[in-house]
Chain A
Amino acid sequence: MKQSITLGSVTKFIGLAGFLETIKNVFTGKLDKEDLKNIFRKVIMPLASVLLFFAVWYLGANKLHEIEADHLINKALVEQGPAEAEKLRACIASGDKSCQPNALPSPVQVWGAYQTLLADHYLISADKKAFIEKTAAINEKRIANGEKPITYTGRPSFVDQIFTSIITVFAGFLLALFIAVPIGIVIGLSPTLRSSVNWLIQIFKPVSPVVWFLLVFMIVKTFTKNSSSDSAFIICFISVGLCSMWATLVNTAMGVSSVDKDYINVAKVLKLGPMQKVFKVILPSSLPLIFTGLRITLSVAWMVLIAIELLAQSPGLGLFVWEEFQNGANDSNSKIIAAMFVIGLIGFMLDRIMLTIQKMVSFNKND
């Protein structure tokens, strides 16, 4: 089972195996009619769709930019006269950032935003490092005296926000796991319990993340009144966990309650005790369904995290997006779109990780 990580396994993991394999065949000269079909399907068409996507985006953004620009110039014409309008037109045409209309950013602008964000990150981390070096001696003394060390309280960079979000989503995911899996097993084992709590599951499952956040806020507020801990983070990950755990709960209960009758008969004939029955037969056979549930939970958690961070004012990508929107600087929109791609990519990676784990625990040959 233990195999070193090869390029092949990595590309397969991120879903590019077919694509790269076909390209390799082009260069090694192994080509026949079937390969040409594959090249068309696995290389040319995906690349074409990427290009088409960027083209539509680029042209659409230009068009929106034009409409916004015309609107601004007309407004200037009415309010400030032809001279100002002409000045504005020249300013927009020159590409000066200060007078650009606020519209959907083009791919080029978003790329620029990435570079700005990265540069900003290097700046902030250098600053942070310097701060830590500067306070190292003082902090040592403070710790020795039993005082709290001085921590860096500057603005977090975009990369910091990404890591905060990932930590929050994992905290929420673990919470969901530790609540939903045991409860799912218990209610899966008992039909009575299952029908008695079914109403609760059916009613709470479709509740929106916003409402979960408010509910958690109401409760956590009481507990954190006198503590100095970071209640925004706590509220945030608890809401994410509660909101996303339902898929795991339902899947676990279903997996446990629908174990193949043959396995149950074997357990009966061998007279396995209740614990053995659960741990040797029921749980292993429902693992694939449990992991399917966990995979859905993680993707739901990541999706609602952004909204909940925004509401909870907890640091992370959600807050970043919201602050940029409130900020309204001329590159804010580009940064929002940049964050959107980062969110999408991380969501994709998380799903792939879960899919791999899911495949590992699945015992069907054909999966």
Chain B
Amino acid sequence: MNTTILENNQTHAYSENGIVYPSSGVMLDLVHLKKVYPTPKGDYIVLEDLNLQIMKEEFVTIIGHSGCGKTTMLSMIAGLNNISGGAISVLGKHIKGPGPDRGVIFQSPSLMPWMTALENVLLGVNQVFPHVPKSQRRDIAKYYLQKVGLEDAFNKKATELSQGMQQRVGIARAFAIKPKVLLLDEPFGMLDSLTRGELQDILIEIWNKEKITAVMITHDVDEAIFLADRVVMMTSGPKAKIGDILNIDFERPRTRKSVLDHDDYYKYRKHLIDFLEH
């Protein structure tokens, strides 16, 4: 495990068990993925033959109609939902159940309401870095809370924070455990558009530093383009699969203005909307 936890943005290569993985490799691999829910009227096939490879340090957004199985797919990657067929592997290793190598930012902030912001982040940090001294663990948690702009709210109870601030804690909690893959399930869906913009900026800023492979579900076409290297479009269920993939060739770091001013922006936007309205 990487012990230089803070400010390690110089090297993005992962070294584990002495093996150094090249940063160009595949991080997350979904092969012939299938999800079936048995119902009284027979099996309901949500996903079938879904194949997707996500590279290291890649930010992928997934877009599709409601109920198409995006969230099912994400929770299968997180290990919270059983796999009916096919396989999911992280760095070539098949996943078995949930684990802190795949951090999740849930749709609702899902903070423990009886804990403070700091305690919520520490819950994960303590779990993932049990051998790091206590003061250093606190520093890690504080560092990420600062990164999301909550330096004044360390000791506030989760219930005292607004929805947007709670989701910031959710972001800090997910990054602080240094996952290999970050899974975001429509994390800004419940926020108003101003707060959503703020949080997108915060997310992309912290992501630019950490470069953690990210898979994010969204309903928002602009959000999908602004954040992603690739936008994955899913077909409507049942038997949903990957419909189309759009490469977003804006250089990073991006600003909202540079993205909006870019000539290709409306071309991308039209592509996505055409797919969704198809």
Contact = CB atoms under 8 A, between A and B. Distances in A.
Interface of A: 260, 262-263, 265-266, 268-272, 276, 280-281, 284-285, 287, 363-365
B79 to A, nearest CB: 8
Contact of A265 (B100, B104, B114): B104
Nearest to A361: B114
B98 A269 contact: yes
Interface of B: 78-80, 97-100, 102-104, 106, 108, 110, 112-115, 123-124, 127-128, 157, 159-160, 177
Nearest to B170: A266
Nearest to A365: B159
Q: Which 6 A-B pairs have the closest CB atoms?
A: A262-B110, A363-B113, A268-B98, A363-B114, A284-B114, A270-B127
Given A269-B80, A270-B123, A363-B157, 16 more contacts: A262-B106, A265-B110, A269-B79, A269-B102, A270-B100, A270-B124, A270-B177, A271-B100, A271-B127, A280-B112, A281-B112, A284-B112, A285-B113, A285-B114, A287-B114, A365-B159
22 contacts: A262-B106, A265-B80, A265-B106, A266-B110, A269-B78, A269-B79, A269-B80, A269-B99, A269-B100, A269-B102, A269-B104, A270-B127, A271-B99, A272-B123, A280-B112, A280-B123, A284-B112, A284-B114, A285-B112, A287-B114, A363-B113, A364-B113
A313 B104 CA distance: 62
B201 to A, nearest CB: 25
Contacts, number: 59
A365 B113 CA distance: 10
A57 to B, nearest CB: 46
Contacts of A266: 106, 110, 112, 123
Contacts of B160: 365
A44 B46 CA distance: 64
A168 B222 CA distance: 67
B245 to A, nearest CB: 27
Contacts of B127: 270-272, 276
Contacts of B108: 262
Nearest to A287: B114
Contacts of A262: 106, 108, 110
A259 to B, nearest CB: 10
Contacts of B102: 269
Contacts of B99: 269, 271
Nearest to B119: A280
B93 to A, nearest CB: 15
Given A269-B98, A285-B114, A364 B159 contact: yes
